[in-house]
Structure 1
Amino acid sequence: MSLPEKAFPVSWDQFHRDARALAWRLADNGGEWKAIVCITRGGLVPAAIVCRELNIRLIETVCVASYHDYDAQGQMYVLKGISEELKADGGQGVLIIDDLTDTGKTAAVVRAMLPKAHFAAVYAKPKGRPQVDTFVTEVSQDTWIYFPWDMGFTYQEPIAKSSRG
């Protein structure tokens, strides 16, 4: 598998701004949300920000994994489902949150569980866009987003010290 040609590193500050922008769009949408279902793991951080901004107290997770090995490459597995209470009425009034919709495969699995829910993601790629009702930023399909929780900090030598040979 080759690495994507384009990189889009996102800092904590930028992600926080983008997640708040998502909350603004959802508030402007006029939705009265009774609960959030966040797709783990990436949806945990934006869900925390959105639930604070929109004063939503009921938060649940749905855990979907795609195992990439020779036996089941790309097959989706639901590791933890959604409560029956939230699935009632097809998820009407439920807000699904994720950090990114890439191919749309995970989103499609969760949408099937909650067909009437509103799906929101901070970032969207073209293949995943049809699954999302609200998003903040679209990036090209060949862009790899480096989320702040995937990044580490490393010490950098001062310029003056490193130029002393």
Structure 2
Amino acid sequence: MSTERYQAHLTISWDRLHRDVRALCHGLLARQTSFKGIIAITRGGLIPAALVARELDVRLIDTICIKSYDHMDQGGLQVLKGIDHDGDGWLLIDDLVDTGKTARAVRDMLPRAFFATIYAKPEGKPLVDYCLEDVGQDTWIQFPWDMGLSYIEPLVSRQHGEPES
């Protein structure tokens, strides 16, 4: 992680992700717009899109596959799979809009889609139609699918000379 670019760190738990997606869906429902289907921006948008599809009872789901991150640093943009329409009537879902690089490319491909994201940073936010939560540009977001649970020894065990695992 580039220490110059990211000064803050936000960890999103599975529970928080579910709550945030439900809140996003409440906002989408308030718009009283029905969608033909959902387009998930892979990979980050896959899990949020599945949760949105459940909440909005949408059965038709497609993907637009774009690679824009190399581990924690943004690399070059590569479209791996596109969509053969302009997005009219479709809901486009991603987990996060950051610098706007991916969002700009997707907007060019699907100019008529309604673009919703859970989290938005200032540089990318103008490219989405709806987001749930603003996040600082200098914040690295750690999503639950990038983390794992592991056992941690109790502090008392460490004090008695037992090795830390």
1:96-128: CA deviation from partner (whole Å, max 9, x where unpaired): 000000011101111111111100001000001
Q: 2:58 aligns with which of 47, 56, 59?
A: 56
TM-score by length of 1: 0.89
The amino acid of 1:124's aligned partner reads A
**How much has 1:11 moved relative to structure 2?**
0.5
User: Which segments of 5 or more consecutive residues in structure 1 lack a partner in the other structure?
Assistant: none
Asked if 1:114 is matched to 2:113, the reply is no
Question: 2: distance between equivalents of 1:49 and 1:123?
Answer: 15
User: Which segments of 5 or more consecutive residues in structure 2 lack a partner in the other structure?
Assistant: none
Runs of 4+ in 1 over 3 A off after TM superposition: none
Asked if 1:76 is matched to 2:77, the reply is yes
Q: Which residue of 1 aligns with 2:2?
A: 2
The amino acid of 2:2's aligned partner reads S
1:30-63: CA deviation from partner (whole Å, max 9, x where unpaired): 1110010000000001000000110111100001
Question: 2: distance between equivalents of 1:2 and 1:76?
Answer: 19
Q: Which residue of 2 aligns with 1:46?
A: 48
Aligned residues: 156
The amino acid of 2:140's aligned partner reads W
The amino acid of 1:32's aligned partner reads S
Question: 1: distance between equivalents of 2:140 and 2:95?
Answer: 13
**How much has 1:159 moved relative to structure 2?**
2.2
**How much has 1:130 moved relative to structure 2?**
0.5
Q: Which residue of 2 aligns with 1:22?
A: 24
Q: 1:95 aligns with which of 91, 95, 120?
A: 91
Percent identical residues? 55
The amino acid of 1:117's aligned partner reads A
1:50-107: CA deviation from partner (whole Å, max 9, x where unpaired): 0011011110000111376xxxx8432210011x3xx1xx322100000000011101
**Which protein is richer in helix relative to its size?**
1
Asked if 1:146 is matched to 2:142, the reply is yes
Question: 1: distance between equivalents of 2:25 and 2:34?
Answer: 12
Question: 2: distance between equivalents of 1:136 and 1:10?
Answer: 14
Asked if 1:129 is matched to 2:125, the reply is yes
The amino acid of 1:80's aligned partner reads K
